[in-house]
């Protein structure tokens, strides 16, 4: 049996149960991408994550990226920068 994590949503919507190993890999990837870029659009995070993970991840990378990104926002790890279009992200310090 695989370990699961129930993701959170910044607007309080119902999260989803996903495999903890996949969650941790996507989380680490997102945090590394945002940390190395300072401020970066969600689209760029998604593009870089796909490039980095396409040969070592099974499943829909964009779906996992958006799910984990929302979870990280809800947990206060990532911050969506107000008044940016397309919306940009940064590490919440």
> Cα–chain-centroid distance for residue 35?
12
Total number of domains constituting the chain: 1
Residue with tokens 């969600």: 42
Mean pLDDT of 65-84: 96
Report the pLDDT value the prediction gives residue 2, as an integer from 0 to 100.
80
Residue 93 banded pLDDT, cuts 50, 70, 90: confident
3-state DSSP helix/strand/coil percent for the chain, to nearest 5? 45, 15, 35
Predicted structure pTM score: 0.94
Q: Write out the residue range of the structural domain in which residue 47 sits.
A: 4-12+20-91
CATH of the domain at 62: 1.10.10.10
The string of pLDDT tens digits covering residues 9-61 is 999 999 999 999 999 999 999 999 999 999 999 999 999 999 999 999 999 99
């Amino acid at each position: 049996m695989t370990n699961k994590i129930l993701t959170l949503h910044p607007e309080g919507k119902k999260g989803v149960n996903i495999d903890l190993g996949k969650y941790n890999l996507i989380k680490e990837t997102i945090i590394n991408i945002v940390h190395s870029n300072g401020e970066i659009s969600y689209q760029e995070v998604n593009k870089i994550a796909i490039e980095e993970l396409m040969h070592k991840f099974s499943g829909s990378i964009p779906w996992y990226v958006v799910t984990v990104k929302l979870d990280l926002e809800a947990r206060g790890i990532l911050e969506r920068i107000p008044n940016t279009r397309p919306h940009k992200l940064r590490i919440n310090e």
